[in-house]
């Protein structure tokens, strides 16, 4: 198939296949965006609720510093809580309250602005 007609035929087949792929991907992206719009309000509510719980837990840890002298951290309900030295800073006491969430079995982590 060394003639121009054969190459034109193959190029046409490729163009058709590529156009089908583009249409399929565009349809998928449209569905993904619709799903995001439908689920985003609930996700935002969960982020706000998680942020409130995070703040309450952080305040309670700060108020209970004596519980975290030894060991400095504990894992409770799959969440590592406790005290850790601040990285890269030298302060009067050099310790800050810190919460590290282990998302056991979940691939994604959601963080809120601190």
Long-range (24+ apart) CB contacts under 8 A made by 94-101 are 95/65, 97/58, 97/61, 97/62, 97/65, 99/54, 99/57, 99/58, 99/61, 100/73
Q: What pLDDT was estimated at residue 88?
A: 59
Q: What pLDDT was estimated at residue 53?
A: 94
Q: What pLDDT was estimated at residue 84?
A: 80
Q: For the chain (length 114 residues), average pLDDT per consecutive 10? A: 86 97 98 96 94 93 88 90 72 46 44 46
Q: What pLDDT was estimated at residue 22?
A: 97
| Nearest in space to 82 (alpha carbons), one of 104, 103, 94, 64 | 64
Q: What pLDDT was estimated at residue 86?
A: 66
Q: What pLDDT was estimated at residue 14?
A: 96
> Residue ranges per domain, the chain?
4-101
């Amino acid at each position: 198939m060394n003639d121009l007609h054969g190459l034109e035929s193959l190029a046409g087949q490729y163009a058709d296949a590529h156009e089908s792929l583009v249409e399929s991907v565009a349809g998928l992206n449209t569905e993904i965006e619709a799903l995001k719009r439908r689920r985003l309000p609930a996700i935002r509510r969960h982020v706000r609720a998680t942020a409130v719980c995070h703040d309450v837990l952080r305040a309670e840890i700060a108020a209970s510093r004596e519980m975290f002298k030894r060991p400095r951290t504990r894992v409770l309900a799959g969440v590592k809580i406790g005290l850790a030295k601040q990285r890269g800073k030298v302060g009067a006491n050099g310790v800050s309250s810190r919460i590290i969430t282990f998302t056991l079995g979940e691939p994604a982590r959601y963080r809120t602005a601190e």
